[in-house]
């Protein structure tokens, strides 16, 4: 990450842009349940329309952010494990309002376990990455825990991106690379959490080792064996900056208030803090160390760390970071917060020092860094009128591309049912942090072509979709899913005699059978109030009936709740459903509709 490209700011031209989410073909007599979108919707988070914002500004499962500024635009990447396409890309003009513009990886092409016929890559895939722009080329670095360090490149942030180039094997590295081009010395570097994979017996410090490797100037090859610069408990997610001749390395690190639990386990006594290493001598140190951000009162002891340093046109500094799910607050994933940065004695203190101990804590509401831009948000609603999927959608593993279409029936999304994968070794979730006695061996996790998007916010939300179920075949199950750490389904099952019945399926794959459905149309609505959710169904789009219990949507397996569609067949490749439209109203920012 080259600071020269972070801080060179072209003159800012404030253009009153109007962004908008995908249009919906929802019937006109259906009114938006939240707020009038003529001027853009506000809510319980993000841009408040009055020159301030409320954290989290991006209140959804967009974890492990990194941000690169080019000209007057900020570009963000975030991780999303086994979801495909991988490594979402978002952009913003003001650091507060973000829209999705693409993905780095069209598919997780580097390993067979991410394909639809294996679905064996749960919790792996794309982890925390680093986004950089240098000499006219975009770079995205990331480490797949199962395969090693890789980089993809592009001339345009929106692609096409190259296939990933492997740079270091998994035997040497764990996660979280970050790069820096030193223009003065004409050297390129990458810092990596190597954890204990190369740890010598002489290093008695507990925790992860972080090493700096020299790279080729084109950023695609490692040139040396690396040098150890820091070891610390859970230390990872490094970012390198050089500011006014001083080297800074930002790191996330755990402090253990209760040693009975491990780092990352829900325990409000433990804290993941942001530390900074500082050296005036060399990128290799020696370094001074200071904690600059810790949890505070704004988020009820939820840890805050890992992110990216930015600068606004007025030269003020800002920091974007994620909240960590280490207590009982039901955030759905790891949302992004924006903090002011104040330099005190050469140290970047993040947020507001609310307890006067020299360490910053997150703010809840604050003045926007840059004024003049309209309210915007990642896309949500879709009428499937485009021949390409919107960037808000991601598949559970790489899809079977012959079994979905936006063109076979223009204006509709068609999901064809594949035979469920075997419940045996090599298919579906492994025995790792993903699995325990929570339904991980159920059919849902081995059903290809499940398509979904993130929920927004943790207060209230309602999603609705219209299905045509006339193309279903015997032994097919299809409909609407909410899933993250657990799944809850409402859909239609066709039996061996061709009869269709409504059903609800709980996280342990227990089905509740509903009434027979004889028509072609099915409307499904799901609403949540905090982490409690329900399903309703309708046959005419007007009169809805509840079906199934109130259930808990849960963050788990490092994934927040998602909204989407499923279709599989228990016996053969047969049957399909068509989705006409999807709408999602929630208590947060939405762009103005035209």
Label residue 435 by pLDDT band (50, 70, 90).
very low
For CA atoms 361, 364, 365, 371, give the dihedral sign: positive
Average pLDDT over residues 233-258: 96
CB 80 within 8 A of CB 352: no
Strand 404-405, strand 347-350: pairing: unpaired
For residue 265, the 8-state DSSP code is: S
On the question of pLDDT at 573 being above 70, the answer is yes
Buried b (16+ CB within 10 A) or exposed e, 236-262: bbbbbbbbeeebbbbbbbbbbeeeeee
C-beta of residue 541 within 8 angstroms of C-beta of residue 523: yes
- Write out pLDDT tens, residues 337-386: 999 999 999 999 999 999 999 999 999 999 999 999 999 999 999 999 99
How high is the mean pLDDT of the chain?
Answer: 91
Q: Residue 9 pLDDT more than 60?
A: no
Six-digit token pair at 580?
């006409």
Q: Would you say residue 131 has pLDDT above 50?
A: yes
Quick one: how far is CA 361 from the chain centroid?
23
Q: Which of 7, 50, 5 is nearest to 375 (CA)?
A: 50
* pLDDT at site 301: 74
Q: Report the alpha-carbon distance of residue 235 to residue 159 in Å, rounded.
A: 32
**Averaged pLDDT for residues 546-562:** 89
Please check whether residue 88 is in contact with residue 391, taking contact to mean a CB–CB distance below 8 angstroms.
Answer: yes
Each residue's pLDDT tens digit, 490-527: 999 999 999 999 999 999 999 999 999 999 999 999 99
Give the right CATH number for 3-8+65-313 from 2.60.120.200, 3.20.20.30, 2.115.10.20, 1.10.3720.10.
Answer: 2.115.10.20
**pLDDT the model gives residue 356:** 96
How long is the chain? 594
pLDDT of residue 436: 44
| Contact partners, residue 172, CB within 8 Å, separation at least 6 | 148, 194, 197, 198
3-8+65-313 and 394-586 in the same fold: no
pLDDT band at 2 (very low <50, low <70, confident <90, very high): very low
Please state the domain extents for the chain: 3-8+65-313, 394-586
pLDDT of residue 439: 66
Supply the DSSP symbol for 331.
-
* Fold held by 394-586: Jelly Rolls (2.60.120)
Residue 15 has pLDDT above 50, yes or no: no
Average pLDDT value for residue range 118-132 = 95
The Cα angle at residue 89 between residues 140 and 246, in degrees rounded to 5:
55
Write the pLDDT tens digit of every residue in 200-238: 999 999 999 999 999 999 999 999 999 999 999 999 999
Q: For the ranges 261-270, 428-437, 539-548, which has the lowest average pLDDT?
A: 428-437
Span 60-87, average pLDDT: 97
pLDDT exceeds 60 at position 39: yes
Task: Give the integer Cα–Cα distance in Å for 441 and 420.
Answer: 12
Q: What was the pLDDT predicted at 330?
A: 66
**Helices of type H across 311-411:** none
* CB 571, CB 475: distance < 8 Å: yes
Q: What average pLDDT does this structure show over 545-573?
A: 93
């Amino acid at each position: 990450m080259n600071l020269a490209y972070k801080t060179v700011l072209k003159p800012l031209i404030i253009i009153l842009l109007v962004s908008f989410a995908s249009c919906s073909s929802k019937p006109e007599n259906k009114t938006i349940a939240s707020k009038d979108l003529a001027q853009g919707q506000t809510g319980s988070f993000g841009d408040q329309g009055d020159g301030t914002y409320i954290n989290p500004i991006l209140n959804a499962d967009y974890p492990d952010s990194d941000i690169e500024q080019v000209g007057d635009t900020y570009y963000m990447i975030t991780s999303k494990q086994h979801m495909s396409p991988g490594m979402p890309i978002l952009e913003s003009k003001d650091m507060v309002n973000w829209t999705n513009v693409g993905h780095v990886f069209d598919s997780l092409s580097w390993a067979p376990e991410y394909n639809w016929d294996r679905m064996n890559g749960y919790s792996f895939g794309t982890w925390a990455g680093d986004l950089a722009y240098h000499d006219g080329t975009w770079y995205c670095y990331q480490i797949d825990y199962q395969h090693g360090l890789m980089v993809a490149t592009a001339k345009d942030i929106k692609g096409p991106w190259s296939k990933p180039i492997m740079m270091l094997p998994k035997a040497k590295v764990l996660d979280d690379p970050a790069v820096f081009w030193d223009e003065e010395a004409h050297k390129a570097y990458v810092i990596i959490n190597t954890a204990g994979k190369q740890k010598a017996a002489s290093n008695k410090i507990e925790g992860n080792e972080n090493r700096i490797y020299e790279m080729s100037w084109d950023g695609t090859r490692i040139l040396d064996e690396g040098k150890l610069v820091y070891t610390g408990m859970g230390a990872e997610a490094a970012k390198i900056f050089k500011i006014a001749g001083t080297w800074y390395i930002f790191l996330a690190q755990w402090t253990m208030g209760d040693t009975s639990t491990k780092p990352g386990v829900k325990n409000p006594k433990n804290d993941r803090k942001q530390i900074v290493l500082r050296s005036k001598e060399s990128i290799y140190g020696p370094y001074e160390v200071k904690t600059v951000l810790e949890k505070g009162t704004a988020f009820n002891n939820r840890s805050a760390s890992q992110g990216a340093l930015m600068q606004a046109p007025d030269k003020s500094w800002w920091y974007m970071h994620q909240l960590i799910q280490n207590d009982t607050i039901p955030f759905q994933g790891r949302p992004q917060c924006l903090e002011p940065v104040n330099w005190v004695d050469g140290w970047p203190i993040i947020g507001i020092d609310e307890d006067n101990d020299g360490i910053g804590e997150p703010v809840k509401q604050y003045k926007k860094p840059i004024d003049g831009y309209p309210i915007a948000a990642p896309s949500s609603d879709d009428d499937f009128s485009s021949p390409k999927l919107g960037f808000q959608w991601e598949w559970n593993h790489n899809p079977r591309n012959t079994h979905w279409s936006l063109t076979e029936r223009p204006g509709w999304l068609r999901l064809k049912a594949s035979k469920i994968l075997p419940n045996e070794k090599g298919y579906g979730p492994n025995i790792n942090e993903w699995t325990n006695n929570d339904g991980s061996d159920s059919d849902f996790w081995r059903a290809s072509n499940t398509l979904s998007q993130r929920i927004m916010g943790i207060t209230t939300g309602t999603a609705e979709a219209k299905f045509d179920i006339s193309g279903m075949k015997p032994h097919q199950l299809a409909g609407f899913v909410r899933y993250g750490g657990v799944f809850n389904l409402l859909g239609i099952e066709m039996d061996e005699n061709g009869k269709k019945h409504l059903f609800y399926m709980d996280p342990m794959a227990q089905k509740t059978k509903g009434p027979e459905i004889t028509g072609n149309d099915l409307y499904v609505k799901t609403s949540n109030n905090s982490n409690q959710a329900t399903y309703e169904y309708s046959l005419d789009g007007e009169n809805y009936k509840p079906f199934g219990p109130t259930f808990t949507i849960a963050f788990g397996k490092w994934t927040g709740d998602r909204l989407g569609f499923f279709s599989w067949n228990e016996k053969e490749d047969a049957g399909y459903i068509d989705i006409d439209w999807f709408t999602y109203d929630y208590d947060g920012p939405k762009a103005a509709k035209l």
